Amino acid sequence: MNQQRIQQKRQFINLIRKFFTDQGFFELETPLLVPSPGMEVHLHSFTTKYVRHDGSEELLHLPTSPEFAIKKALGAGFEKVFEIARVFRNHGELGPQHHPEFTMLEWYRPGSYNQIMDDVANLLQYVSEPFDTPKHDPDFSWNGVKRTSIQDCFQTYAELDLHRGMTDAEYWRGAAADVLGEKIPSDDTFDDIFFRVWLKKIEPRLGLSNPEIVFDYPASMAALSKLKSPEDIWAERFELYIKGIEIGNAFSELTDSHEQFKRFEAANRDRETRGYPPHPIDSDFIKEVGKMPPTGGIAIGVERLLMVLTGESDIREFFLYPLAELKRK
């Protein structure tokens, strides 16, 4: 047990809470037992059963994110809100950058992802000052956030034309194979190839001297995001990277109930194709999405951000009893 890191985490959470309350945000507390854990294809939940007095059962999940519950609150009339929540990810999420139970910061405000980008820059400057980060990394600056389109990332670091790849499967498969120096499996989809290139050639080079926002992802990778325009292939989504590590994921939130339902159905079809069980679609969430005003929102991994602030190399140092220690006992 690393007592110093545990204390730093509490100090850090207190800083985050003060930042948002001082900005006029309201702190929510959402449920830990939910009917649907989220619809991301590659995320898997922990499940349990609620047993009623009559013996009937209902399948419930631990949330992979508080997003659905927060958006229901936005549909009901809340505006500027945040939550510092415990979230859970199943299926192998254990290692120096992963733990199956962790702390997630989410906040939402009227507007779009542009306002969230500004919030991110202000938050990072605010929380970095007390940790005296230049001592362990004098070449990194927390003042200012670099903004790069995802198309520019692929062009700069992999010499790939992402836009062409989205419409020309033969080009995408062949060019990616050349860049990676390996054969691409025949059943790989556009998204599969995207992530092969992203993880090997691009992600490790992001945010090395300043925090970096990578924006405007392909629409297929943003099930909860508004598109740049109704017929566009790009979504108003960005990710925050610091020192090659993904720290946060943000959107201009989708507020069209019919479109949201269609995207969730497509996500479940994708899950089934990959051999994963489909997730139940939360009908209350679908209804409330249509009541939301134009909104921007983001999710940030608290322990991951604290890792890069303190120079810690293992996320498990910020947990009182990380899962690996429990397994050894």
Q: Count the Cβ atoms, other than its own, within 10 Å of residue 77.
A: 8
Which domains does the chain possess? Answer: 3-145+210-328 (3.30.930.10)
Mean pLDDT of 292-314: 95
Share of the chain above pLDDT 70, in %: 96
329 versus 228: which is more confidently predicted?
A: 228
| pLDDT 10s digits, 47-79 | 999 999 999 999 999 999 999 999 999 999 999
| pLDDT 10s digits, 3-34 | 999 999 999 999 999 999 999 999 999 999 99
Nearest by Cα to 245 from 194, 307, 196, 195: 307
| pLDDT 10s digits, 115-151 | 999 999 999 999 998 876 656 678 899 888 999 999 9
Q: How far apart are CA 175 and CA 112, in angstroms?
A: 34
Q: How far apart are CA 256 and CA 24, in angstroms?
A: 27
pLDDT at 255: 92
Which amino acid does the sequence have at 219?
Answer: A
Share of the chain above pLDDT 90, in %: 74
| pLDDT 10s digits, 157-215 | 999 999 999 999 999 999 999 999 999 999 999 999 999 999 999 999 999 999 999 99
If pLDDT is split at 50, 70 and 90, which confidence band does 299 have? very high
